[in-house]
Chain A
Amino acid sequence: MADKQVYGISLDVGTMNFVSARRTATGVETKRMRDVFIDLPPNAKKMLRLSGTSFVEREEDVLILGDAAMETANVFGREPRRPLSNGIVSASEAQSLEVLGLLAKHVLGDPLIPGETCFFSVPAVPIDRPGQDVIYHRGVFERIVKECGYTPHAANESMAIIYSECAAEGFSGIALSFGSGLTNIALAINTIEGLSFAVGRGGDWIDHGASQSIGATQARICAVKEAGINLNAPRNRTEEAIAFYYKALLEYVLDQIAARFKSIEGQFALTKAIPLIVSGGTSLAGGFMEFFTRIFEERRKRFPVEISGIRQVKEPLNAVAYGLLIQAIQEQEEE
């Protein structure tokens, strides 16, 4: 496959990261940008040039995107702004649409052929946020991807994990994507989506809860998490608070899965046990799998689906983009 040019690209639209993936002659190339930005007055340009910080120049201000925005925000003592909130386009960020367009353009690049296929991820509707849907969110990214020169295709985030991780099981399994804004869940049997939903808790929920309980900022909690923490052996009060909220999140997610699966128990029959696949940036915390497995084992007897094994994806930040890429390549070849 590597000898000939493969068309098709993917875009994982996450609350914390935008990740694109493309098959190249040497392998799979991924591009990632952190989904944050900060706006500065035009007179900051000189300072940014001197410091070698990339920025986007606009008429009334300059925008810094991605990881550089986090660093610059710290220098200026400001909170970086986030164009997505709770997994979907943020209603409170007036500039968010333009920023999302910029982020997408930078990770996607130009299409190799006009109208090249691009699969982008869309979260499922969160069951615990009444009134929230993903219709507007999908429409925005449809528009953005099209304006980048691609033919857009929306695809479920957790189903993408099934495509990238469950080929050996005939694309059957339960995928859990522990994101920043939401946790997405999908059950698939032989590529067919049996059930998908999201819960409105993720990494941000942990940061918020832990920060409130110990009187720290969310940014501080996030930094502690990303610096490396072992959930099974917290070393101080901050890490202990984070571990408490991780436990609460996992219990909540597993209970919600059990309740939802029970409600559709009679609608399809599983002839064999299926794997439980764990992915997402929130699952990068040290000791996560041991922590998760322990909590799952406490509930295994009551779990309505027989699980053959629990495993974590190799690249939690890229798994969704890989799954979307597989679908994009298929779609492009069928055209």
Chain B
Amino acid sequence: MVEAKVTCLCSAVKLQDLGQSLVKGQTVYLDAEAARKSQDLALTVRAGGLTLAFVERCTERRLPSTRQRQVAVQPVPAAPKILTEPVTPKEDLLEAIRAEFRILHASMRASLADLTLALPTSSGGTSGTIWGSPDAASPRFIPHGLVVGNATMSENAVETGQASGDPVDAASAALKQIKRKKK
């Protein structure tokens, strides 16, 4: 089929009657009949803005390929079978663990019993120290040196108040009287 090969030589041109816009170096193939009839094309070619040649382009038809690439596929080895069986702990191991726990439990009970013996039986009593001498009999989990000797703060860190001593004195006297009566 003969076609019109149009190549643009100027910076840009518009062929109104063909509905084409070309820029420099651009080549388009148009219907030969339409190109022959185009006045715009003829005018521009005469002005040297375009080159026009009637050409016949070759077309090649290829049949779709029917050969398929052969890919060598290695057979996947079968996954090894895992046999699942219910886990049953060994009785001797269980017994050893039980024995360990019994020893641990007994030692904890003994420690707690020691602590309990060192404590008073009543809660919130009005007298009596809690653990006697802190040096020998006290449990070790309360550290010594809780009151830092050289720590000082200014007096204004403490809010000081002053009240009449009458209520305290009256209550003290009343309490003394009750205790005297009881004796």
Contact = CB atoms under 8 A, between A and B. Distances in A.
Interface of A: 1-2, 21, 23-24, 26-33, 54-58, 65-68, 97-98, 100-102, 104-107, 119, 122, 124-125, 134-136, 138-140, 142-144, 146-148, 151-157, 159, 163-164, 167, 170-171, 190-191, 193, 196, 314-315, 318, 322-323, 325-327, 329-331
B86 interface: no
Contact of B172 (A1, A24, A125, A146): A1
A57 B152 CA distance: 8
Nearest to A27: B165
Contacts of A142: 129-131, 134
Given A27-B162, A54-B156, A66-B158, A140 B142 contact: yes
Contacts, number: 177
Nearest to A125: B123
A5 to B, nearest CB: 13
A134 B119 CA distance: 12
B183 to A, nearest CB: 11
Please list the 3 inter-chain residue pairs (A to B) with the smallest Cβ-Cβ separation, ordered nearest first.
Answer: A156-B124, A101-B146, A147-B147
Nearest to A152: B129
Interface string B125-148: 111111100100011011111111
A148 B130 CA distance: 16
A104 B179 CA distance: 31
20 contacts: A2-B165, A2-B169, A23-B165, A28-B162, A28-B168, A30-B162, A30-B163, A32-B158, A54-B154, A54-B156, A65-B157, A100-B146, A107-B158, A139-B142, A156-B124, A156-B126, A164-B171, A171-B174, A315-B163, A318-B161
A28 B165 contact: yes
Interface of B: 115, 119, 123-131, 134, 138-139, 141-148, 151-154, 156-165, 167-172, 174-176, 178-179
Contacts of A171: 174-175, 178
A54 B157 contact: yes
B181 to A, nearest CB: 10
A119 B128 CA distance: 10
A128 to B, nearest CB: 16
A165 to B, nearest CB: 8
Contacts of B163: 27-28, 30, 315, 318
Contacts of B157: 33, 54, 65-66, 68, 106
Contacts of B143: 97
A159 B160 contact: no
Given A97-B146, A142-B134, A330 B124 contact: no
A56 B144 CA distance: 19
Nearest to A68: B157
A139 B124 contact: no
Contacts of B147: 101-102, 104-105, 144, 147-148
A193 B125 CA distance: 9
Nearest to B143: A97
Contacts of B152: 56
A287 B27 CA distance: 97
A21 B172 CA distance: 14
B148 A98 contact: yes
Contacts of A102: 147-148, 151, 153
Contact of B164 (A27, A67, A326): A27
A196 B124 contact: yes
Given A54-B156, A196-B124, A170 B151 contact: no
Given A107-B158, A124-B123, A142-B131, 6 more contacts: A101-B146, A136-B142, A138-B130, A144-B147, A155-B124, A330-B175
B123 A1 contact: no
Contacts of A58: 151
B52 to A, nearest CB: 82
A267 to B, nearest CB: 16
A163 to B, nearest CB: 6
B162 A54 contact: no
A139 B174 contact: no
A239 to B, nearest CB: 27
Nearest to A170: B178
B161 A29 contact: yes
B160 to A, nearest CB: 5
A167 B130 contact: no
A153 B127 contact: yes
Nearest to B127: A153
B124 A167 contact: no
A1 B142 contact: no
Given A164-B167, A329-B172, A139 B139 contact: yes
